[in-house]
Structures are given as C-alpha cells and as structure tokens.
Amino acid sequence: MDSPKYNRFWAIFIEAFLTFNITGLDAVKLVREQAQKKGLQILVYIAPNITTCIADNHRLEQILVNLLSNAVKFTEAGSVTLKVEKTADTILFSVIDTGIGLSEAQQTILFEAFQQLDSGLNRQYEGTGLGLALCRKLALLHGGEITVKSKLLSVSCFTLHLPIQPLDSSKTTQNSLP
C-alpha cells in the first residue's frame, strides 16, 4: 500500500530518551479495568535490580499498553503477567498470557501491517492489524526488538528487548517502514 495516509502513519519517531521509572508504569493501570471486566488477574513482577530504563517514555508506554491490551483481548480465563528483568545489556519487558496461543504459521506474520489472525466474516476479535507492527517499529527505533514464544491453545509470551544504552536519539529521527 502506497497511500499518503499510510505513509504518514509509519512516519513515526522517537522524541527523546529520558529516564523512565519502571515502577510507575501507567500501562498496567490502563488495562486493569478491561482485565477485571473479564475476570482476569493482572500480575506484575519487576526484578529488584531494575527501577528505571532510558527510553522515549510515551513510546515505551504505547508498546506496553498495546501488548497488555492484546493479551487481555485474547485471554478468556486466567491471567496476564508483565515481567520486567535485566540482563547485562538488555531490559526485558515480557507480557505473558494464558490465552488462545499462536501457531508457528501465525507467529511468522504476526508483526506485519494489516495482518489479522482472525480474518473471517465472523471475526471474534476486533482490531486493524496495525498494533503489533507499530510496536515492532517503535522497538526498532529504540534499538530493540519484540519476540514471541507461543503454542496454539497455550501460553503466549511477547518480549520487548530494549538495550540498556539506547540508540542516539539524533540518529533515530523520522523513519518510515519499507
């Protein structure tokens, strides 16, 4: 697709890398009510050795809200967990759900724009198919990535990998997806 509206959508950028207080995540607060309406537990584990990271605060929250909202949307019973951990050079934000799971084939197209895993006329789940593609783009602009581990009808785990030392924000100005 090569329309001006589509191109403007992907013309996203990182505003500024600032110290972000992980313990004050708004993303969890924003999806908690949605989860409670479905009878789901929202669990949060933040490793004691990490309280902050350097990121574009708005974009990081945007990624986490999207991942958490998707987890709640595709989980009928059980829980959604946000787990934050640190390795030597990476901060990992994992969103784990007890939802419907994904086949290997579904995982290969999951981060492509306009992909709907439930694309029939009687779709059970709403959405545009842009959320995960946007999250992937934002992760790349931070110098990171998003990965998924899942099995059909089982647990899914989406992990945002962010470098502890982010890319120079002057190098991550306006970028478009190919």
pLDDT tens-digit map of 7-66? 454 556 677 788 878 887 899 999 999 999 999 999 999 999 998 889 999 999 999 999
Which residues, at least 6 apart from 169, have a Cβ–Cβ distance to it below 8 Å?
Answer: 14, 15, 16, 17, 56
Burial class of residue 124 in the structure, from the number of CB atoms within 10 Å of its CB (0-12 exposed, 13-18 middle, 19+ buried): exposed
For the chain, domain boundaries: 13-168
Is pTM beyond 0.75? Reply is yes
| Residue-level pLDDT at 118 | 56
Structure tokens at 41: 């537990």
pLDDT tens digits, 140-158: 999 999 999 999 999 999 9
Structure tokens at 49: 């050795």
Tokens 């050079």 correspond to what residue?
89
Q: Give the CATH class of 13-168.
A: alpha beta
The proportion of the chain whose per-residue pLDDT surpasses 90, expressed as a percent, equals 57
Residue 112 has pLDDT above 50, yes or no: yes
* Separation of alpha carbons 128 and 177, rounded Å: 17
